Amino acid sequence: MDGPCICGTVSVVETTTRTTSDGKYVSQLDPAQSKGNSGAHNMSDEDQWRQQWISKPVEELWDSLQKGKSQSLLKKHLTEATYKKLKDKKTTLGGTLAQCISSGALHEGSKVGIYACDPAAYSDPDWKELFNLIIQDYHTGNAAGTVKHPQPSFGTDAEIDSLGDLDPTGQFVVSTRVRVARSHAGMPFPPAAKKEDFEKMEKLGCEGLSTLTGELAGTYYPLRGMDKATQNKMIEDHFLFRADDSVLGDAGGYSCWDTGRGIFHNKDKTFLTWLNEEDHFRFISMQKGGNLGQIYKRLVSAIKHMETKMKFAKMDGLGYLTFCPTNLGTTLRASVHVRVPMLSKDPKVLKDICAKYNLQPRGVHGEHSDSKGGIYDISNRQRLGLTEFQAVTAMKNGVLEIIKEEAKLTWMPKPMPELWERISKSDSQSLMKKFLTPEVYAKLKDKKTSLNGTLAHCINSGCLHLGSKVGIYACDPDAYTTFEDVFNPVIKAYHKVDSINHPVPTFGTEAEMKALENIDPENKMVLSTRIRVARSHKKYPFPPACTSEDFENMEADSVAALSTLTGELAGNYYPLRTMDAKTMEQMIQDHFLFRNDDDVLGDAGGYKYWDIGRGIFHNKDKTFLTWVNEEDHLRLISMQKGGDLGTVYRRLVKAINELEKKLTFAKRDGYGYLTFCPSNLGTTLRASVHMAIPHVSKQPNFKEFCEKYSIQPRGIHGEHSESEGGVFDLSNKRRLGLTEYAAVREMLDGVLAIKKWEEELAAKK
């Protein structure tokens, strides 16, 4: 079997990850962690397991267990009398006590500490008494428990169909997976198996799998003969398994590796079967999203078919028999990767729901791993004492409650019909209301962008805040194309252009940049100068359509690029999530940071999953800053005291040029750089000064004068704020239809004109 064996076709698999007693991941080659087969540690990688595994002498294992600090169920229930009764015995299939207790004796941190050497260990006299104590203690918490497993029941067709989709919105459930283990009747488990046993089981497995048809039909790939590149890729993609767990290794789980091992999967990789990974079979059904009914139905169909082709080991009262007694019964683990970043900030609610439904929460990379992006693996904890359908239903009910609680904390747009009803019947004067005609609405309402953005994402804020002037935000860069029937007229009306024809970005020649003068060399009027631009990652949505992982990944990409800046641009990144309150408040007061206090932006989804993926980067002198995921993906800011516009601009241009070597920004011919709000399209550039103009600002024609020079005056605390002490924020008004250099030059000319007028008025006083 040197290549793929065409059998019948499998799906995306999550690898089983185990840890040592102290919770650390260890290499199979670490002699300090893996004590069995000590001589094998001179071998490399998985080669040490290719030979027939042989346990240490039972006397040595017993001695190690007694002298060690193990708190395992094995140590609790393996009395000296029982040890003496079994130490020289063999099961009817030839298994030994040493094979069962090897791993638990060598790994003090094991909670259970015992594996079955073969199915007979659960039923043979004397053996079953020891295993029953451990089984009841583990599954019920009481060694004297009498829980008996019912007959298998996967549910009726109607019951299976009723499982449905856990998350039709696609907002919360990333993927769903249901797996079961099965063992060949009359065949030993790995520690007691010989090479010919593994080969026989593989042959039987392949013969059965080859009879699968329809969506279950697929291909078998044996580990032996699989080239390293393919094998590593399959592991990396979570399709395959490997011999990397010292606890399982010292239980004999990798004996004769990799003989008889392999993976079968269907064409769509939604059904997989692992052969001789830990159990003889692991049947797995999985796919993206939350359609539990579809996934479970596929698995049940496969199991029922395979049961017509071979006999699996099972026992009245214990259900299906497995290598590890923790998996007995249904052997079923139904799990979802669910996105709950808001609940994970205070995990008590999540833990309480899991406890209520007897579910197990853990990180997506296995037990003891951490959550990433607020995504947790949630699965049924109970295997014994209930039917398969009951186990799946328990997981379903718990996950639905988790989603319900997360939804209360997560921004989502209101339903499209509700938004349309509100805006269409309103007297809103927004540009969105003006151009989202019934015909345009009918054309766009069911469309989605390439990044899964919707019209609801775009108009939610404008429908809720009827006083908005623009009323629409882009859900992602592609929104400007997918929903151009509404965006294009809004853009033209807002930016006062007849056509959308933005020039190619031009920051000016060296000579032109040097010609940008100091607005106030006397330092009498200009308090500070600031220029910022917005940039968006081409491959990520804007906030309303982002997942928590998107925010984390954008942050990682941005920080990696920012960390390459050198000279005066070099600095440090401060994530909001780990910033103490005192530092954060001081940075806000100093105008270095941002906060989530704008209802209009909030209802646009701008603060979704706050404060995940948000933070600030600044250089040592705090003259160059980058806001990460404030409103736009990046806000690059150059600023300093006084009016030296040329220095501020050149610093910003240098930073932009350096970052564009590392990151790909979203832009479109004619539109320039793409941003969350269409009001910032084009250059995305805002050049401003805080300038004391107490005389000019009192003139009745002040605003008309600013309009003449395309200058926007506002208070120093942002749009709609009031001036303090005659100090105004003066900035360029135009973003679209001119180059970056032209925008800065326009601001400079306008501010110089205002300065001249202020000086003339002051002289008259």
**Of residues 100, 206, 677, 706, which has the active-site annotation?**
677
- Does residue 44 have a known ligand-binding role? no
Write down the residue that tokens 């003889």 correspond to.
280
Spatial neighbors of 610 by CB under 8 A, at least 6 apart, are 596
- Does residue 719 have a known ligand-binding role? yes
- Does residue 704 have a known ligand-binding role? no
Q: With beta carbons less than 8 A apart as the criterion, state whether 527 and 692 touch.
A: yes
Does the annotation count 256 as an active-site position?
no
Q: How open is the CA angle 291-380-247, to the nearest 5 degrees? A: 120
- Does residue 365 have a known ligand-binding role? yes
Which amino acid type is present at position 353? Answer: I
Residue 221 parent element (H or E): strand 218-222
Q: With beta carbons less than 8 A apart as the criterion, state whether 299 and 283 touch.
A: yes
Q: With beta carbons less than 8 A apart as the criterion, state whether 486 and 473 touch.
A: no
**Helix 348-356 / helix 388-409 crossing angle, nearest 10 deg:** 160
- Does residue 208 have a known ligand-binding role? no
Residue 130 parent element (H or E): helix 127-140
Q: What share of the chain is helix, strand, coil (3-state, %, to 5)?
A: 40, 15, 45
- Does residue 423 have a known ligand-binding role? no
- Does residue 305 have a known ligand-binding role? no
- Does residue 246 have a known ligand-binding role? no
- Does residue 308 have a known ligand-binding role? no
Q: How many CA atoms lie within 13 A of 209 on its CB side?
A: 29
Indicate the Cα dihedral angle 601, 604, 609, 612, nearest 10°.
-50
- Does residue 668 have a known ligand-binding role? no
- Does residue 364 have a known ligand-binding role? yes
Residue 650 parent element (H or E): helix 645-659
- Does residue 353 have a known ligand-binding role? no
- Does residue 535 have a known ligand-binding role? no
What is the distance between the alpha carbons of residues 605 and 175, in angstroms, rounded to a whole number?
24
- Does residue 688 have a known ligand-binding role? yes
- Does residue 531 have a known ligand-binding role? yes
β-strands 218-222, 5-6 pairing:
antiparallel
Q: With beta carbons less than 8 A apart as the criterion, state whether 644 and 523 touch.
A: no
- Name the DSSP class of 325: G
- Does residue 367 have a known ligand-binding role? yes
- Does residue 457 have a known ligand-binding role? no
- Does residue 533 have a known ligand-binding role? no
Residue 287 parent element (H or E): strand 281-288
**Of residues 256, 324, 354, 546, which has the active-site annotation?**
324
- Does residue 689 have a known ligand-binding role? yes
- Does residue 716 have a known ligand-binding role? yes
- Does residue 495 have a known ligand-binding role? no
Does the annotation count 677 as an active-site position?
yes
What is the distance between the alpha carbons of residues 287 and 174, in angstroms, rounded to a whole number?
9
| Buried b / exposed e along 613-623 (16+ C-beta atoms within 10 A) | bbbbbbbeeeb
What is the distance between the alpha carbons of residues 297 and 160, in angstroms, rounded to a whole number?
6
Q: Pick out the residues of the known binding site.
A: 175-179, 238, 282, 333-337, 362-367, 528-532, 591, 635, 686-690, 714-719
Q: Pick out the residues of the known binding site for ATP.
A: 175-179, 238, 282, 333-337, 362-367, 528-532, 591, 635, 686-690, 714-719
Active site residues: 324, 677
